[in-house]
Structure 1
């Protein structure tokens, strides 16, 4: 990876680019993942590259939903592996739940490399190398799933996700937590809880919320979830983009 000084004003963004590019070189991120990373970075600019109030509320609701779930699971794709493999392992450990590799541009070699990376980072329960069932309604490789993981889960965390699998999981009766920087995406609009934030910021904060809420009574967790409105959160994210752009234009005219 290119050495990037921490003093660089674009340090975090450039490090993320390097991680995804390195993931392509090492074989666990697809070349199409580079395009997805660039699209997400664009929305992060618009949000001001910060965790907004709406995102913080969604993170808290997502943590409550994961803790209330009977069989939660976490989905990992190539970009997730490149960007936050260690952080995903920490989240899975905090919840004592499995990680499952799930890819659109699937090859068994890529799946194995991602699974091996997660184990290298300390994961104990990694699924996806031997899928034994499929999600109804999908005609591509993302349909492949594992019993005891995503297929049997009641709540699934799907970061950096395409909307069709989100819809298919919801049709199975599952609740879905998405991490998606685009508040207008089908995934964000369909998910039960949509965290409109950079995954580099969102996953550590989600893990911290899980730890802080883990000792709360179920009634408190249910209250957090009942008071959460995903459409209101997405509207808030769009407004935060507008406010940030207005602020930038005002600065430019001063």
Structure 2
């Protein structure tokens, strides 16, 4: 991004400082909220305990996520303020690789903020960005995240739900959608209800999903379905929790 903070790349907390700056810049641009900074701090603590690396189970989850997206008839990437601020290029590239739609969905929704995020994504190469129409509602939710596009998230069969509150994740699951969740906390509601929980930093998770999607782009439907069937979501959650609690994943090789 052009507005990166001036921190030497060899600084031991370089990535952390850059991440905080991106969200701070997003607040100034009308993309993120002040609450987004709090959420980032919470996630950073979990990432520190994970060793700030992609553990093997998270990489397997990223591969399963790629397979789900390639198998899906209508995959959609849901984008909130922090996602837009942190990984706009990666969102756009993943959508291109997998043929997914991009849709803005916010808890603190205003039309101005949705437009700002859509414009920001277009500045990073996105074509159509959904979320402004908001002509459908997710059943069971009373807040602004219930508002979705009828031809976007509402119609999707696979949804990437990164950095998400758990109630919408639960509601999407009840609609029968396959959910790929990116969350650094394996005990969160989002991770617990996900079809594929990727317990990783979004800065690593999205490039990993994209890499696997490229690798699997020529795979047959049978191969992709085998990858989906072999993925063990409970084992992925357990491995991440073990790393958080013990700092080692002896059984996650």
Q: Identify the TM-score tier after normalising by the shorter chain.
A: over 0.9
* Distance in 1 between residues matched to 2:61 and 2:162, nearest whole Å: 13
* Distance in 2 between residues matched to 1:201 and 1:233, nearest whole Å: 16
* Distance in 1 between residues matched to 2:142 and 2:134, nearest whole Å: 15
Residue correspondences, number: 247
Matches within 5 A, 1:1-254: 1-244=4-247
How does the TM-score come out when normalised to structure 2? 0.95
Report the CA distance between 1:231 and its aligned residue: 1.1
Conservation of the 8 A alpha-carbon contact between 1:64 and 1:213: yes
* Distance in 2 between residues matched to 1:76 and 1:183, nearest whole Å: 20
* Distance in 2 between residues matched to 1:55 and 1:125, nearest whole Å: 30
Conservation of the 8 A alpha-carbon contact between 2:135 and 2:150: yes
Report the CA distance between 1:243 and its aligned residue: 3.8
* Distance in 1 between residues matched to 2:151 and 2:7, nearest whole Å: 41
Structure 1 portions without partners, runs of 5+: 247-254
Conservation of the 8 A alpha-carbon contact between 1:21 and 1:34: yes
How does the TM-score come out when normalised to structure 1? 0.95
Report the CA distance between 1:122 and its aligned residue: 0.9
Structure 2 portions without partners, runs of 5+: none
Report the CA distance between 1:124 and its aligned residue: 1.1
Conservation of the 8 A alpha-carbon contact between 2:242 and 2:248: no
Q: Which runs of 4+ in 1 moved over 4 A?
A: none
- Which deviations, in whole Å up to 9, do the C-alpha atoms of 1:153-181 show, x marking residues without a partner? 00100100010001100111111000000
